């Protein structure tokens, strides 16, 4: 276990008793804009009374049509006129998967194309896609049948290998699949305006019901996307879902019940950030908040249990200086001053360091996260910020933005 992870285990263990029962959480959503052939990442929208936290709603995009070992996906029509296409997340390997209908493309977190798998059975056009990160299995649908498959090797350009299939009922055309980790359930949505859950063996577990967002948020009954918040669902009997018609998103409990807000999802009903999306997926990806005074904080990997390659990064720091990573369990609003610089951490529990900043102003702190049961409890939110000192020129201080991440199920 990496040094930072060991220290986080100790800090979390010492601080759990002081945490509020529903600690704020913040992660991100991905959607796919088929017409513009791009994937969008979003948070927020920000809440003005919380200093504009988080820094959303649209925080990044990458194009689908990039060079790689296989031909890239083609653009495809948006909703409501078309149901083809979807996006899914492999949280452990930090990859995005996109289907344009006849194929499934695999991208890394930066948008590099790693593989493209022709649909299997051959010739079917896919309307929904999900990934079980713990097993690596794919779950996808053409609207009538749901298949379970093993992905082909990166760069092989070969189809996945199907190992099971079943036909759900009562959903109209099935448009998306989301895997509930630990529960062994697949949550499905469709054009009947219903959501249902099935076991991976194809047995109905939750009968079709109308999601809360149809009435509360004005979602169209032609649902196009469903995603599971695997961070905010750790300790609840029913997971928290995001349900979308491609234009609006509802945040709610499975079963059709309203869910309390989180750091990321301040509002139960939001407009989708980006072009109309043919699908939706949740990523346990740390998000930034605030602005800082120059240094940039970031992360490698997603904050799931496990995440062996997880790390916290620093860019644009003072060359040759020193950095400390401050850690807290909340976001400060308004931000107090740290040697004249904004300090975004509430419930501050300590700082790690000093760490040497390179001549290029960079530093990477490995923080590999253990599996569930390895000392870091699922659902705990951690807030971090770089505190940097210029060791030359008078020792001036500067601070990065804040970074929030929640320990999530894969």
φ/ψ of 37, rounded to 5, equals 50, 55
Q: Are 341 and 405 in contact (CB under 8 A)?
A: no
3-state DSSP assignment of residue 2: coil
232-255 pLDDT, tens digit per residue, is 878 677 899 999 999 999 999 999
* 301/379 same-domain check: yes
* 314/241 same-domain check: no
Q: Which residue has the tokens 């499934």?
A: 104
The pLDDT of residue 304 is 95
Q: Which residues span the domain enclosing 256?
A: 28-283
CA distance 346 to 384: 10
Is 319 a member of any domain? yes
Is 12 a member of any domain? no
Strands 225-229 and 137-141: unpaired
Tokens of 110: 């930066």
Q: Which residue has the tokens 């996006």?
A: 87
Question: How confident is residue 127, by pLDDT bands cut at 50, 70 and 90?
Answer: very high
Is 271 a member of any domain? yes
What sign for the dihedral angle of Cα 254, 151, 112, 364? Answer: positive
> Distance between terminal CA atoms of the chain?
18
* 182/54 same-domain check: yes
The pLDDT of residue 7 is 52
* 264/308 same-domain check: no
Cβ-proximal residues to 206 (8 Å cutoff; 6+ apart), any chain: 185, 187, 195, 196, 197, 254, 255
Strands 86-90 and 38-42: unpaired
Calculated CA dihedral for residues 54, 55, 56, 59, nearest 10 degrees = -130
Cα angle value 260/298/368 (rounded, 5°): 85
Count how many domains the chain has: 2
* 133/237 same-domain check: yes
* 37/119 same-domain check: yes
* 310/383 same-domain check: yes
Cα angle value 361/366/372 (rounded, 5°): 150
Q: Which residues pair with 333 in a beta bridge?
A: none
Average pLDDT over residues 51-57: 85
Is 121 a member of any domain? yes
> What's the pTM?
0.92
CA distance 148 to 187: 14
Q: 378: domain CATH number? A: 2.20.130.20
* 376/305 same-domain check: yes
Answer with the one of 231, 258, 283 that is the final residue of a domain.
283
Answer with the one of 235, 258, 283 that is the final residue of a domain.
283
- Mean model confidence pLDDT for the chain: 91
* 268/300 same-domain check: no
- What's the half-sphere exposure (Cβ side, CA atoms, 13 Å) at 90? 17
Is 22 a member of any domain? no
Q: 191: domain CATH number? A: 2.40.128.630
Answer with the one of 246, 262, 283 that is the final residue of a domain.
283
The pLDDT of residue 367 is 92
3-state DSSP assignment of residue 137: strand
Question: How confident is residue 2, by pLDDT bands cut at 50, 70 and 90?
Answer: low
Cβ-proximal residues to 120 (8 Å cutoff; 6+ apart), any chain: 147, 149, 159, 160, 161, 162
Q: Are 269 and 217 in contact (CB under 8 A)?
A: yes
* 200/104 same-domain check: yes
Is 88 a member of any domain? yes
Q: Are 105 and 90 in contact (CB under 8 A)?
A: no
Is 354 a member of any domain? yes
Is 99 a member of any domain? yes
260-309 pLDDT, tens digit per residue, is 888 888 889 999 988 899 999 999 999 899 999 999 999 999 999 999 99
């Amino acid at each position: 276990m990496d040094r930072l992870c060991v220290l986080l285990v100790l800090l979390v263990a010492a601080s759990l008793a002081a945490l509020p029962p529903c600690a704020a959480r913040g992660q991100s959503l991905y959607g796919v804009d088929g017409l513009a052939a791009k994937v969008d990442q979003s948070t927020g929208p920000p809440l003005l009374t919380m200093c504009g936290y988080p820094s959303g709603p649209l925080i990044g995009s990458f194009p689908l049509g990039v060079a790689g070992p296989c031909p890239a996906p083609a653009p495809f029509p948006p909703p409501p006129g078309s149901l083809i296409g979807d996006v899914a997340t492999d949280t452990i390997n930090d990859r995005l998967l996109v289907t344009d209908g006849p194929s499934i493309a695999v991208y890394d977190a930066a948008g590099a194309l790693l593989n493209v798998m022709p649909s299997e059975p051959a010739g079917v056009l896919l309307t929904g896609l999900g990934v079980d990160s713990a097993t690596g299995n794919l779950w996808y649908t053409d609207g009538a049948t749901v298949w379970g498959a093993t992905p082909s090797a990166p760069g092989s350009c070969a189809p996945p290998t199907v190992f099971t299939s079943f036909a759900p009922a009562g959903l109209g055309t099935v448009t998306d699949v989301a895997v509930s980790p630990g529960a062994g359930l697949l949550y499905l949505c469709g054009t009947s305006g219903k959501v249902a859950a099935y076991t991976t063996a194809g047995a109905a577990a939750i009968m079709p019901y109308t999601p809360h967002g149809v009435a509360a948020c004005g979602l169209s009954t032609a649902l196009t996307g469903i995603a599971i918040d695997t961070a905010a669902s750790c300790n609840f009997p029913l997971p928290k879902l995001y349900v979308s018609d491609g234009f609006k998103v509802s945040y709610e409990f499975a079963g059709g019940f309203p869910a309390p807000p989180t750091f990321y999802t301040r509002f139960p009903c939001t407009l989708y950030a980006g072009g109309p999306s043919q699908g939706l997926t949740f990523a346990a990806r740390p998000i930034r908040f605030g602005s800082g005074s120059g240094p940039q904080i970031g992360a490698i990997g997603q904050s799931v249990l496990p995440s062996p390659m997880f790390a916290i990064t620093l860019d644009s720091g003072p060359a040759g200086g020193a950095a400390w990573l401050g850690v807290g369990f909340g976001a400060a609003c308004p931000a107090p001053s740290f040697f004249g610089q904004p300090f975004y951490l509430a419930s501050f529990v300590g700082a790690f360091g000093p760490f040497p900043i390179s001549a290029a102003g960079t530093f990477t702190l490995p923080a590999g996260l253990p599996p569930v049961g390895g000392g870091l409890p699922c659902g705990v939110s951690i807030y971090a910020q770089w505190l940097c000192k210029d060791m030359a020129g008078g020792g001036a201080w500067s601070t990065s933005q804040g970074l929030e991440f929640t320990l999530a199920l894969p």
